[in-house]
Amino acid sequence: MSHKIFIFDTTLRDGEQAPGMHLNVKEKLEIAYQLQKLNVDVIEAGFPISSKSDFNAVKEISGIIKDKSIAALARANFKDIDAAGEALKNAANPVIHTFISSSDIHLKYQLNKTREQVLEIAAESVKRCKKYTDNIEFSAMDATRSDREYLARMFEVAIKNGAKVLNVPDTVGYALPLEYSALIEYLMNNVRGIENTIISVHCHNDLGLAVANSILAINAGARQIECSVNGVGERAGNAAIEEIALILDTRKKDMDFHTDINIKEIAKTSNLVSSLTGYLIAPNKAIVGKNAFSHEAGIHQDGMLKDRSTYEILKPEDIGLSASKLILGKHSGRHAFVKRIEDLGFNLNEAEIEKSFEKFKSLAERKGTINDNDLKAIVQNETIEIKEYFKLNYYHILSGTNVKSTSTVGIEINGKLFEAVHFGDGPIDASFKAIDQITKLSAKLIDYSIEAVSEGKDAIGAVKIVVSNNGIQVLGRGISTDVIEASIKAYINAMNRIVESQET
């Protein structure tokens, strides 16, 4: 039978302790509503004694959200516990989460107390929590660097005085997965009364092992995982709730565990937390990074077009995303390119495909990612059948505030290269005059316009010009990430149209 793993979300408490992060009460409530939709089991709403804002957030959330357990953090002292109890007084399912250090390092340098003194504090603090609720979680801070026998004694004291959940935090992210799971197994076998409690794990990500440690811990007997959205939290953060949920969902047949998380709300929850906290999500972040369901390599794209299971073990739709993305860039293959232009409504012949694909690869080398607007511009510009009497080979520009603009243009005519250098009123004017000199065509510029086809600093510029020659007006088009190059291409395109009109 599959065992349920309870999800204790600490985004609003440990998550908000991340450097530079601050959420007001309204923002915390908005996240709490979304955590309710995500269907976590416990929402740790804050640390009431730490600030008026935290106190009010816990009070507000616990008064509104009634179908979830709402937890408040408190150090093992009466003042903290009383503040937590007061903040939770309207909660339907209040949880006081109290903690004290258990490692000799913390006892010596932080608490300056003996082991026996700390055990007495732990006992009295758990008793105090019972004044407000029977739902008491006790944490032994820095558990993974504590003496095992002493840690077991501390948990026995907590159980004896009313703790229902025992948290074994890897506070500084020091433990290795097998080491951590062995500690959980030791506690399961050596703490009297532990069978009547839930073992919880709270792992930090200092060595990148928070998720791995949490997963191995449930194999050893833990039944609650404490985590945060996007893994936010102190220093390198916590185990990421989206990773925990998807590991257990994807591998449920192999692991025999499940959560009640509504995974369709994962993308929305991740985006909301990122937006409100200002903590951006790394593109390569598992599950919720923008590249998690994106494919650029030609081999991968070819496989995805044949069957998505070739390169995806998760479905983006399952976590609330619309679909996977085939990112067109310099690594993309012909198959993905053809599929995308067909999706955009173009029906090209083989010659047009080859011409457009060559332009696509050339542009991708300079720009990187090519979007749909870029593709439309490429196809529309490259598939209009105009004979190239004049073909741009190269151009060089000299221009500046105190320099006369000069353009050197090289154009092929019937396989022969011709070059011209000309001054002008700006680099585009100089280029057009150099082209006139080579083509020996007298054209009057009637209209010139440029627009950004796509967004960003590397956007494609599309230039459209209208020129007149002997009473005939023609339209020229050119595209490039460089507006000068786009202008030159548009003018040469117009010159080719002039010659074509003269021959027909």
Q: DSSP letter string over 454-503?
A: SSSTTPPEEEEEEEEETTEEEEEEEEESSHHHHHHHHHHHHHHHHHHHHH
Q: What is the mean pLDDT of residues 411-427?
A: 94
Report the b/e string of 222-244 with b at 16+ CB within 10 A.
bbbbbbbbbbbbbeebbbbbbbb
Q: 369: pLDDT confidence band, cut at 50, 70 and 90?
A: low
pLDDT at 79 over 80: yes
- The CA distance from 240 to 434, in Å, is 61
The residues near 39 (Cβ < 8 Å, ≥ 6 apart) are 260, 261, 262, 265
pLDDT at 95 over 80: yes
pLDDT at 432 over 70: yes
pLDDT at 441 over 60: yes
The structure tokens listed for 416 are 């022969």
Q: 362: pLDDT confidence band, cut at 50, 70 and 90?
A: confident
Q: 422: pLDDT confidence band, cut at 50, 70 and 90?
A: very high
pLDDT of residue 289: 77
Look at 289-293, 307-311, 465-469 and tell me which has the smallest mean pLDDT.
Answer: 307-311
Q: DSSP letter string over 360-391?
A: HHHHHHHHSSB-HHHHHHHHHHHSS----SEE
- The CA distance from 479 to 489, in Å, is 7
Q: DSSP letter string over 283-352?
A: TT-TTTSTTTTEE-SHHHHHHHHH-GGGT-SS-GGGGT----EE-BSTT--HHHHHHHHHHTT----HHH
pLDDT at 214 over 70: yes
The residues near 12 (Cβ < 8 Å, ≥ 6 apart) are 23, 28, 31, 32, 43, 44, 45, 46, 57, 61
Q: What is the mean pLDDT of residues 230-251?
A: 95
How does strand 257-258 pair with strand 224-227?
unpaired
pLDDT of residue 366: 64
pLDDT at 321 over 70: no
* pLDDT mean across residues, the chain: 88
Among residues 296, 188, 232, 289, the alpha carbon closest in space to that of 16 is found at: 232
Q: 195: pLDDT confidence band, cut at 50, 70 and 90?
A: very high
- The CA distance from 135 to 133, in Å, is 5
The structure tokens listed for 501 are 């009109």
Q: Is 375 exposed, middle or buried (0-12, 13-18, 19+ CB in 10 A)?
A: buried
pLDDT at 93 over 70: yes
Q: What is the mean pLDDT of residues 450-466?
A: 69
pLDDT of residue 401: 86
- The CA distance from 273 to 18, in Å, is 13
pLDDT of residue 36: 97
Q: What is the mean pLDDT of residues 310-320?
A: 71
Q: Which secondary structure element, helix H or strand E, spans residue 395, and what is its range?
A: strand 390-400
Q: Which residue has the higher pLDDT, 251 or 364?
A: 251
Q: Which secondary structure element, helix H or strand E, spans residue 442, and what is its range?
A: none
- The CA distance from 234 to 408, in Å, is 58
In order of their start, the domains of the chain are 3-277 (3.20.20.70), 294-380 (no CATH), 390-503 (3.30.160.270)
pLDDT of residue 459: 61
pLDDT of residue 15: 92
- The CA distance from 56 to 486, in Å, is 59
pLDDT of residue 426: 93
Look at 95-99, 123-127, 148-152, 478-482 and tell me which has the smallest mean pLDDT.
Answer: 478-482
Q: What is the mean pLDDT of residues 334-347?
A: 72
pLDDT of residue 281: 85
Q: Which secondary structure element, helix H or strand E, spans residue 221, and what is its range?
A: none
3-class secondary structure, 64? helix
Neighbours of 423 (CB within 10 A): 13
pLDDT of residue 311: 59
The residues near 273 (Cβ < 8 Å, ≥ 6 apart) are 11, 15, 31, 34, 229, 230, 232, 279
3-class secondary structure, 82? helix
Phi, psi of 70, rounded to the nearest 5 degrees:
-110, 125
CA torsion sign, 231 to 235 to 236 to 238?
negative
Q: What is the mean pLDDT of residues 388-394?
A: 91
pLDDT of residue 349: 80
- The CA distance from 500 to 502, in Å, is 5
- The CA distance from 45 to 84, in Å, is 10
pLDDT at 419 over 80: yes
- The CA distance from 434 to 75, in Å, is 78
Q: 374: pLDDT confidence band, cut at 50, 70 and 90?
A: low
- The CA distance from 441 to 40, in Å, is 73
Among residues 87, 167, 80, 171, the alpha carbon closest in space to that of 128 is found at: 80
pLDDT at 91 over 90: yes
Q: pLDDT digits over 101-160, tens only?
A: 999 999 999 999 999 999 999 999 999 999 999 999 999 999 999 999 999 999 999 999
* Residue 1, CA distances (Å) to 6, 188, 255, 256 in order: 16, 20, 11, 7
132 backbone φψ class: left, alpha, beta (φ>0; ψ -120 to 50)? alpha
